[in-house]
Structure 1
Amino acid sequence: MTGAPLRLLLADDHAVVRAGLRALLEGEPDLVVAGEAGTGEEAVRLAAALVPDVVLMDLRFAGGGAGIDGVEAVRRLAVAAPGVAVVMLTSYSGRVDVVRALEAGARGYVLKAGPPRELFRAVRGAAAGALGLASAVVGELVGRVPDPERELSGREVEVVRLLADGLSNRAIAGALFLSEATVKTHLVRVYRKLGADNRAAAVSEAVRRGLLDLA
């Protein structure tokens, strides 16, 4: 192997998980861990400071609603460290989570329970500008080619999730830091794309399409 090793930043709220990942990754001659973050906010700060080749980002961080999740961290990284690739490393393989992460700009999506070779492949691929998806994730997306006229954006999915929680337009605006007018615009688009004419019908159709899990 020639050239400098790929520098990685690990972002996960569990120190034990980070330690395991570090040991696994640094067993590869071309990979080195440059830093670790325990929150989404810390991941953004460290990525901007360290400028690693790839960030391995957990999808969901513990600590309640005060902190940002992995998807929001990916969005912020696009501004704070635009040249840094992100691979999501998570326990969640649901289609809606995969779509949200990829729309935010992630270049890979790997499951923590998957084989190490998929993780290595995704990291190296992301660093080279490719897209690396775990086989289980590909299975979630097969046969579901997005239709731009009917596919909800990541933000629209967030709006529908809050609709399902029973929030009013004002409450949704507060939760997403948007104006009520912007929320109404999102709802118009959501209704059109889902073929719904009210909130209940929109939520029902979103569940049918696999965009929401109300279990």
Structure 2
Amino acid sequence: MCTHSSFAIVAKTSDRHLNRLRKILHDHCACQEIVEYESILSAMNKLKNKRNLSAIFFRLEEPTIRQLNDLRTIRVLYGHIRLVIIADSDRQRHVLAAVQAGMHGYIPTLLDPAEFDRAVLTVCKGQVYVPASIANAGIVKEESANKNPEDASKLLSRKQQEVFFLLRSGLTNKEIARKFNVSEAAIKSHNVAIYRKLGALKRADFIHY
């Protein structure tokens, strides 16, 4: 029996794979609650009020660069939440990109039902899941999903978290300063602190989180 109790699903529409996922979570993962969001952005905006989530499952056709960047941001800000992609694509480059982004699982919808169930349970038990064709090739190691294991909320102050999120969204220092009604110098000061705590040298380095 898994110990997780609260999960989230991010999907535009439901399908048979998500129906199967919900059943597995309820029947085998001690699920007490499933929160559902229509988009990654919606989830990002509301996660600050849902810090008790154990895992989030993202239903995608195939992960885009923009989506993976957003998932990196979630990974940094909420490092205690396990992030899993359920995708139609089983291409190696998509799986590897997901793992490099810090995902704890990549589950192709092309898996047979029994393997799909095993994949979900593997993640619920705190392990990393990738398709056997990738894992057996020795390309992906479980440690890859633990590149940034410490929850960034313990590293950054609340204000720094807010600034970090806006930086990752592509806003300039001037635009962020306007949002907070502070000077641009104040935002630059926050940037320096964020760079230091996250081990980044410049704004572009955030793409690796």
TM-score scaled by structure 1? Answer: 0.53
**RCO higher in 1 or 2 (8 Å CA, sep ≥ 6)?**
2
Equivalent residue letter for 1:52: L
The question of 1:24 aligning with 2:23 is answered: yes
Equivalent residue letter for 1:56: F
Equivalent residue letter for 1:13: K
Distance change in 2, residues 1:43/1:144 (3 Å): same
1:29-54 per-position Cα deviation (integer Å, ceiling 9, x unaligned): 32425211111112323444323111
After TM superposition, give the deviation of residue 81 of structure 1 in Å: 1.5
Do the aligned partners of 2:61 and 2:88 also contact (CA within 8 Å) in 1? no
Name 1:93's counterpart in structure 2: 90
Do the aligned partners of 1:86 and 1:107 also contact (CA within 8 Å) in 2? yes
Equivalent residue letter for 2:13: H
Do the aligned partners of 1:90 and 1:111 also contact (CA within 8 Å) in 2? yes
The question of 1:72 aligning with 2:73 is answered: no
Distance change in 2, residues 1:30/1:75 (3 Å): same
Name 2:42's counterpart in structure 1: 42
User: Where do 5+ consecutive residues of structure 1 fail to align?
Assistant: 147-175, 183-215
Do the aligned partners of 1:10 and 1:18 also contact (CA within 8 Å) in 2? no
Name 2:9's counterpart in structure 1: 10
Name 1:112's counterpart in structure 2: 109
CA distance in 1, matches of 2:8, 2:53: 6
After TM superposition, give the deviation of residue 55 of structure 1 in Å: 0.9
Do the aligned partners of 2:17 and 2:109 also contact (CA within 8 Å) in 1? no
What root-mean-square deviation, in Å, do the aligned CA atoms of Structure 1 and Structure 2 show? 4.0
Distance change in 2, residues 1:6/1:135 (3 Å): farther
TM-score scaled by structure 2? Answer: 0.54
**Identical-pair percentage:** 15
Partner of 2:27: helix, strand, or coil? coil
Equivalent residue letter for 2:127: A
CA distance in 2, matches of 1:77, 1:14: 21
CA distance in 2, matches of 1:82, 1:120: 24
After TM superposition, give the deviation of residue 109 of structure 1 in Å: 0.9
Distance change in 2, residues 1:23/1:87 (3 Å): closer
After TM superposition, give the deviation of residue 25 of structure 1 in Å: 2.5
Distance change in 2, residues 1:133/1:10 (3 Å): same
CA distance in 2, matches of 1:7, 1:119: 20
Do the aligned partners of 1:35 and 1:46 also contact (CA within 8 Å) in 2? no
CA distance in 2, matches of 1:7, 1:38: 17
User: Where do 5+ consecutive residues of structure 2 fail to align?
Assistant: 142-168, 172-201, 203-209
